[in-house]
Structure 1
């Protein structure tokens, strides 16, 4: 169980810049960047807006770990 968990953690560390940049990069320049970043900091990595989709950085950063251990947990806890 430790091996897939370690692999998932290493993958998450490698892809953290790419994951965070996908949430913070804007199509229309930097408009609203400060407000989004401030809301993410105040709400512990989660932000819901009416104009853009929900942002959950914590879930996105943990996703590589979930991908690696899902099969094992599926076999253990049916």
Structure 2
């Protein structure tokens, strides 16, 4: 990991076409601006992690009580 000290208004470059600019420094955080091509996705890590957790929870197998309750709602099939 590269760690840099930057002041308000200073920038850093990632490759040839991504510019990170320090906009504001406050006691509770730093505001940055990101200038990147439209085809580059820029996301907050905590949002991506929350989406991944939600996706894993949605695909996790249901507990047995819920499965049994759903089976009880299913109409019985006639004997043939």
Q: Which one has the bigger helix percentage?
A: 1
Give 1 or 2 for the bigger CA radius of gyration: 2
The TM-score, its normalising length taken from structure 2, stands at 0.28
Higher strand proportion (structure 1 or 2): 2
* RCO higher in structure (CA 8 A, sep ≥6): 1
